[in-house]
Amino acid sequence: MSEAVLKELVASPETPGTKHFPPFKPTDELEAEATRRLAQFPDDHKRSAVLPILHHIQHHHGFISAEAIQWTADRLGIEPIKVAEVVTFYPGFRQSAPGKFHIRVCRTLSCAMGGSYELMDRLCEITGIDRSSLDPHHHPIAVSPCGTWSVEFAECLASCGTAPVCLVNDDFHEGVDADKSRQLLDQYAKA
């Protein structure tokens, strides 16, 4: 896979959230994480470390760029396509920057019965996010014009008894009906 093909496959268009994340650059911390993770698998199965390395990159850089894919492939000694196919398959990996605070609203049955679609509507209303032009089925990420917020529907977050629920970055929030949207966002707006 040539670099040009890879860049075409993972274009990572700029979003209003881009400014909140440093562009991908290999760091000592990343190298240490890769070494630690590789030690968890047999020497002839380095490919197993691809998910943990990508998680580390996404956590620091917001998404997985073509450069990040190339670095990961080189570090693991595998073809870039083998990293790219993972990035394009798993909904947990993004190819462009989310907002500074990324909100994942559960839309599966129990949360939907608890009002998660209304929650999503209200969050978009408050943050000025327009989801109307998006495909309603593949859960695309929508970023607010200011770049502070982004929203995405998630499938079952496994807390159906406290519906509706959502994740804001790594923080889990339960029992968040639409009326609590403002309160939820305020916690982060001040941060």
Partner 1 sequence: MSEIQYLEGKQPDPREHRMIFRNVDRVGWNPSIDRYLEDGGYEQLRKAMDMDPQVITDEVKKSGLRGRGGAGFPTGVKWGFIPPKNTKPVYLICNADESEPGTFKDRYILHQDPHQLIEGMVITCLAVGAHVAYIYIREEFPEAAKTLETAIAEAKGKNFVGKGVLGSDFDVEIHVHRGAAAYICGEETGLIESLEGKRPYPRIKPPYFPAALGLYMCPTIVNNVESLCHVKHIIGMGGDEYAKLGTPRNTGTRILCVSGDVKKPGYFEVEVGKVTMRELLYDMCGGPKDGREFKAVIPGGSSAKILRCDETFTLKGQGPDGTDKELSFWDIPMDFDSLAACGSMAGSGGVIVMDDSRKMSWVLNNINQFYAHESCGQCTPCREGSTWMRKITDRIVAGKASPRDIDILESVAHQIDGKTICAFGEACSWPVEAIIAKYRDELVADTKPENAEAALNPEAEAQRRYLQKA
Counting contacts by CB under 8 A, is residue 85 touching partner 1? yes
- Tell whether residue 42 is a contact of partner 1 (CB under 8 A): yes
Closer by beta carbon to partner 1, 19 or else 128: 128
Candidates 3-11, 16-24, 25-33, 108-116; binding stretch for partner 1 (CB under 8 A): 108-116
Strand partners, 128: none
Asked whether position 1 contacts partner 1 by CB under 8 A, the answer is no
Verify binding: residue 170, partner 1, rule CB under 8 A: yes
Token pair in block for residue 46: 């380095």
Q: Of residues 50, 105, 168, 184, which one binds partner 1 by CB under 8 A?
A: 50
Contacts of 84 (CB under 8 A, 6+ apart): 1, 6, 9, 10, 69
Binding window for partner 1 (CB under 8 A); candidates: 4-12, 16-24, 130-138, 180-188:
130-138
Environment class of 159 (CB within 10 Å of its CB; exposed 0-12, middle 13-18, buried 19+): middle
Q: Tell me whether residue 99 is exposed, middle or buried, using C-beta atoms within 10 angstroms of its C-beta: 0 to 12, 13 to 18, 19 or more.
A: buried
Rule CB under 8 A: which of 8-37 touch partner 1?
none
Distances from the Cα of 126 to the Cαs of 53, 100, 121, in angstroms?
35, 16, 9
Residues in the site for partner 1, rule: CB under 8 A? Answer: 40, 42, 45, 47-52, 54-55, 76, 82, 85-86, 89-93, 104, 107-110, 112-118, 120-121, 132, 135-139, 154-163, 167, 170, 172
